[in-house]
Structure 1
């Protein structure tokens, strides 16, 4: 069985993963979901990664999973601990020296109008969960958005990318190109929008468990 370290996206929290955690634990896996210190104005990217490393502790058979903005943090975690696999779920892929705030222009991102957050991010999430997620949103302090991503290259860990076909924030065609350019791989795909951990927790957990069972080589 595997230990899944689950990293939320921008403005999110560990609670975003609770439905997926239930499914993974039902399958016999261990899970660790972490609240990144995104509201702390003194916390940088390294501090975010350290919060995950501390929560993981001495657990082994580690699969690091990141959603959306969490893609900036997960590779840093894999650089600090022995991970068997890194899974990016409709996540941002950093480049060496790139501040997260520059990612949008550097990738050519042309995003939608996000004034209706439900329509863009949560259109397929049950209304009660969508309302809860919006009500629990957290502000993101600037430091970690402005500092250069610190690694010289991608960590030496097998990596999978799971793209959401109905994502209205990161359109599939755009993300396929970003994944090809930045990771040199073809992404896997799943139905649903930008928050599959809330809209399709059982299906996402099944995908993650399947990846954990294939931890024998680089994707």
Structure 2
């Protein structure tokens, strides 16, 4: 059973590693999914919770509209004494009825208590397309699934960081330079300036603002990843 300081985020690493071992690419906190795993054309969503309950089941059922397989992950449940019915059996029965998979996490070990059934989610689903687009646009796994109240690193943030790095290095950045670096949405990011990181110097040329410098400090781990990718 989890201790007082246990949180959903503690489930992320073992669940991530479980699916990586199965050949999936895994990322946390993608479009309101705690964990997303992708292999070939298979999209798997995993919801993390400290305890099993109807709220978790409802979340899993909602994800079935956009994912091929949906799993619920919970900490290992304390077994009852001899002769007493384990709540795990009731959990498994409910998951089988709803087609949801159930994962039990003990330390860094993941046990599959119930396999997920294919949902037959439409490949043309708008939600599915948005999840896959965001998943594939991210260069790395910068978010811990199950966390709350923390800044998310999205594909937009990654691209903004890369543009800010270019502006810091060269004194300014243009959409063309951004596209050369792999940011296809450079024009929109620079001109709309939602984060306040850039200031316009001339037509099609932008400098890094003080807020942008702070942004690079805030997302230092993303800067590190982008630096490695650029030097690869």
| Pairwise TM-score range, normalised by the shorter structure | under 0.3
- Which one has a larger percent strand, Structure 1 or Structure 2? 2
The structure, 1 or 2, with the larger RCO (C-alpha pairs under 8 Å, 6+ apart) is 1
Larger radius of gyration: 2
Q: TM-score, normalised by structure 1?
A: 0.26
Q: TM-score, normalised by structure 2?
A: 0.25
